[in-house]
């Protein structure tokens, strides 16, 4: 994705690559939403970062549950990490074991009632073979309530996550907590038009005093027109506010075109793109292109493909007066087996560090890519699953490092 930045001339006496800004106030976000509701997997809370690897989390934290009532179980996973602290030199490897009991609840299956309440919780303990000082107990929990009427959908929810894991933005293991809150709604104006609105907040806090916490608020509004039975398009306006000690306040207003294409059981595609106007309290305003895309394609009963493209601006948790423009791309293919599945994929992130205030030296760009392979074996119906994965990641920029993750675990549903 090409990013175009238009900004004012820099002041003398400091190094800048972003514009001057007026004081930011409370931000409203009017934004595009491709779906009529927001799934709470979106606010799972990667503890302020998109770098948490699925292999390091216990099973059933993010998996969908389509049943009714309680579902609970126990998972245990062994993990080998070739570069525990993601450093360029003097790499330290270790083996860890994570054990997690988990609980899921649905008041009704999806579409089974007007009101549906869902909840999940999973504490997970991790113990290291050689680095016992890193042993920890982390937590994840979420709850949501939704209402589905003839023309109206309303939803709300909250999620909490505490994770202790390596973070490529920081360059090491960090302890962080994230609280996510979301309220969303949609209204069918006519057979071909609808209105969608979503408000979200994500509050991130780091245990280390040297890292900066951040609060991000957003409000999204989109008007859709059903152009064909499968395609809907519409204009969107998005506004957001980010509060962080490293970047101070950031306000952004985006004007987008959103579209969704849905061929049930075959293709599910959503995309939005447009122009975003940013305003930083310490340094000024700029204009850039922004957008995202997500697509799922089921070739047949055995093969499926997923592609995602996402561009986001984040406050740097460790670099003063820097924001991060992160462009992420992912692709994966899944082959269903008679008693499980096999998934292979690739991911890459291009992170551009932009000064939003006076800095002593320029921070260069970072690039990170990875490849992964996952195998799931189902036993005794769906009661027992054995999961094995391999992931290789490599980073270049301020620090050049590589990392190999091998994990194998079991999950039992009572």
- pLDDT one-digit tens code per residue, 204-256: 998 876 788 899 999 999 999 999 999 999 999 999 999 998 887 999 999 99
Specify if 111 maps to a domain: yes
| pLDDT for residue 205 | 92
| Model pLDDT, residue 48 | 37
Maximum distance among all alpha carbons in the chain?
Answer: 69
User: On the CB side of 147, how many CA atoms lie within 13 Å of its CA?
Assistant: 11
Count of CA atoms in the C-beta half-sphere (13 A) of 2:
1
Instruction: Tell me whether residue 177 is in a domain.
Output: yes
Residue 249 domain-assigned (yes or no): yes
284 in Cβ contact with 8 (< 8 Å): yes
For 46, other C-beta atoms within 10 Å of its C-beta total 18
The Cα–Cα gap between 413 and 382 comes to 8
Other CB atoms within a 10 A radius of the CB of residue 401 amount to 19
| Residue at 19 is within a domain | no
Tell me if 205 is assigned to some domain: yes
- Could you give phi then psi for residue 406, rounded to 5 degrees? -120, 125
Q: Does residue 153 sit within a domain?
A: yes
151 CB burial (10 A radius; 0-12, 13-18, 19+): exposed
Question: How far, CA to CA in Å, does 176 sit from each of 114, 141, 157, 286?
Answer: 36, 15, 21, 30
Q: Is 54 helix (H, G, I), strand (E, B) or coil?
A: helix
Q: How many residues does the chain have?
A: 414
Residue 103 vs residues 4, 55, 116, 164: alpha-carbon distances, Å? 46, 19, 17, 21
pTM recorded for the entire structure = 0.84
CATH code of the domain in which 210 resides: 2.40.160
- All residue ranges of the chain with pLDDT < 70 are 1-62, 209
Res 171: pLDDT: 80
What local confidence, expressed as pLDDT, does residue 208 receive? 74
Write out the residue range of the structural domain in which residue 253 sits.
27-413
Within-domain flag for 12 = no
For CA atoms 92, 331, 46, 167, give the dihedral sign.
positive
**C-beta separation of 83 from 406 below 8 A:** no
Distance CA 387, CA 101 (A): 16
Query: Going by C-beta distance under 8 Å and a sequence separation of 6 or more, which residues neighbour residue 9?
Result: none
Number of domains in the chain: 1
Domain membership of residue 14 (yes or no) is: no
């Amino acid at each position: 994705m090409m990013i175009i930045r238009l900004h004012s001339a820099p002041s003398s006496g400091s190094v800048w690559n972003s514009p001057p800004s007026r004081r930011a106030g409370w931000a409203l976000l009017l934004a595009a939403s491709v779906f009529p509701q927001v799934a709470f997997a979106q606010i799972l809370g990667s503890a302020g970062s998109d770098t948490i690897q699925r292999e390091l989390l216990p099973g059933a934290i993010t998996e969908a549950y389509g049943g009714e009532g309680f579902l609970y179980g126990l998972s245990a996973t062994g993990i080998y990490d070739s570069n525990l602290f993601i450093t360029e030199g003097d790499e330290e490897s270790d083996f860890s074991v994570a054990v997690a009991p988990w609980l899921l609840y649905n008041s009704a299956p999806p579409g089974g009632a007007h009101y549906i309440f869902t909840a999940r919780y999973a504490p997970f303990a991790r113990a290291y073979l050689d680095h016992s000082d890193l042993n920890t107990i982390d937590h994840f929990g979420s709850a949501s309530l939704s209402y589905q009427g003839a023309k109206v959908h309303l939803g709300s929810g909250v999620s909490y996550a505490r994770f202790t894991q390596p973070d490529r933005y920081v360059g090491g293991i960090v302890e962080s907590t994230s609280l996510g809150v979301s309220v969303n709604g949609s209204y069918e104006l006519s057979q071909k038009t609808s209105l969608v609105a979503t408000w979200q907040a994500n509050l991130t806090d780091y245990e280390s005093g040297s890292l900066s916490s951040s609060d991000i608020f957003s409000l999204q509004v989109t008007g859709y027109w059903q152009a064909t039975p499968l395609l809907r398009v519409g204009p969107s306006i998005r506004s957001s506010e980010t509060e962080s000690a490293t970047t101070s306040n950031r306000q952004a207003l985006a004007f987008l075109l959103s579209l969704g294409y849905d061929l049930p059981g075959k293709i599910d595609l959503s995309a939005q793109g447009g122009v975003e106007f940013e305003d930083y309290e310490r340094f000024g305003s700029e204009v850039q292109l922004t957008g995202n895309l997500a697509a799922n394609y089921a070739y047949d009963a055995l093969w499926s493909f997923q592609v995602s493209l996402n561009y986001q601006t984040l406050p740097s948790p460790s670099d003063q007066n820097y924001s991060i423009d992160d462009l992420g791309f992912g692709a994966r293919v899944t082959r269903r087996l008679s008693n499980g599945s096999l998934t292979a994929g690739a991911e890459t992130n291009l992170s551009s560090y932009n000064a939003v205030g006076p800095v002593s030296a320029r921070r260069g760009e970072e690039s990170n890519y990875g490849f992964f392979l996952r195998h799931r074996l189902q036993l005794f119906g769906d009661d027992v699953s054995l999961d094995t994965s391999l992931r290789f990641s490599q980073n270049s920029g301020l620090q050049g490092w590589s990392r190999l993750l091998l994990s194998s675990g079991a999950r039992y549903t009572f």
